[in-house]
Amino acid sequence: MTRYILTAVLFVGIFTIGIIFLEPSSAQTRDQKLSVPDQQDPEMALTIKRLTDRSTQGLTERKLSDGTIELDLEERFQNVPLARIDQSGDADVGCVTSLAEANDFFGRDLETGQIYPSIPKSTDNDLSETAPHEMSGDEYEFYKKLIENAAAQRMAYPET
């Protein structure tokens, strides 16, 4: 019986210490403005720039024994998944291919801390279809034109 009482007192004590001394992270604080710059933003900006770099400059090629060429991408050419907590406290996720897209996702310039004015999303254009896919407008237009061109090619040269 004493053992159960001591366990309960220990549990209550640890819980109380956690409440008193630990502060919630900014991600857990729902009433905090979402677009407030963070001290880690410049570091995150550098990481996103490095991972989404599309330049081939400085990459090393290696010819393999079977004649193929291997190119070390040095962690470049990646899409970067991002997450944030929205105003209602729900998780909002996205995938970006550039620092500019990451800045748009967070609503601020990650390098300078400049906060972007919030612009309501328009629902009267074709780009509203991109929301479920988290594609940028440029990506959406690229794939839309690619599909249209393929359809035109099929019409111009139907199979016999």
pLDDT score at 38: 79
Residue 90, pLDDT score: 84
pLDDT at position 19 is 55
Distance CA 48, CA 55 (A): 14
Structural tokens at position 106 = 């967070």
Radius of gyration of the chain (CA): 25
Chunked into runs of 10 residues, the chain (160 residues) has average pLDDT values of 66 58 45 63 94 93 93 92 85 91 91 79 47 69 83 76
- Inter-axis angle of helices 99-106 and 41-52, nearest 10: 140
pLDDT score recorded for residue 119:
56
CA distance 140 to 125: 12
- Residue-level pLDDT at 4: 65
In contact, 34 and 84? CB cutoff 8 Å: yes
**Inter-residue contact 85 to 30 (CB < 8 Å):** yes
